Amino acid sequence: MTDRRQLAVPEGLEGERLDVALTRLFGLSRSRAAELVEKGQVLVEGVPAAKSHRVRAGTWLDVELPGSSTAAPAVPAAVSAAVPGLRVVYDDADIVVVDKPAGVATHPSPGWSGPTVVGGLVATGFRVSTSGAAERQGVVHRLDVGTSGLMVVAKSEPAYSKLKQQFRDRSVQKVYHALVQGHPDPSRGTIDAPIDRHPNDYRWAVVTSGRPSVTHYDLVEAFPAATLVEVHLETGRTHQIRVHFSALRHPIVGDLTYGADPLLAARLGLERQWLHAVRLAFEHPGTGARVLYSSRYPNDLQQALDRLRA
d(CA 168, CA 146): 24
Q: Answer for the pair 102, 145: CB distance below 8 angstroms, yes or no.
A: yes
d(CA 154, CA 122): 13
d(CA 241, CA 121): 27
Q: Answer for the pair 179, 227: CB distance below 8 angstroms, yes or no.
A: yes
Question: What length is written for the chain?
Answer: 310
d(CA 60, CA 291): 39
Nearest to 249 by CA among 305, 185, 190: 185
74 phi and psi, to 5 degrees? Answer: -85, 115
Catalytic residue among 19, 94, 99, 144: 144
DSSP string, 187-236: SSEEEE--EEE-TTSSSEEE-TTSB--EEEEEEEEE-SSEEEEEEEESS-
d(CA 117, CA 104): 7
Task: Please say if 218 is a catalytic residue.
Answer: no
Known catalytic residues are 144
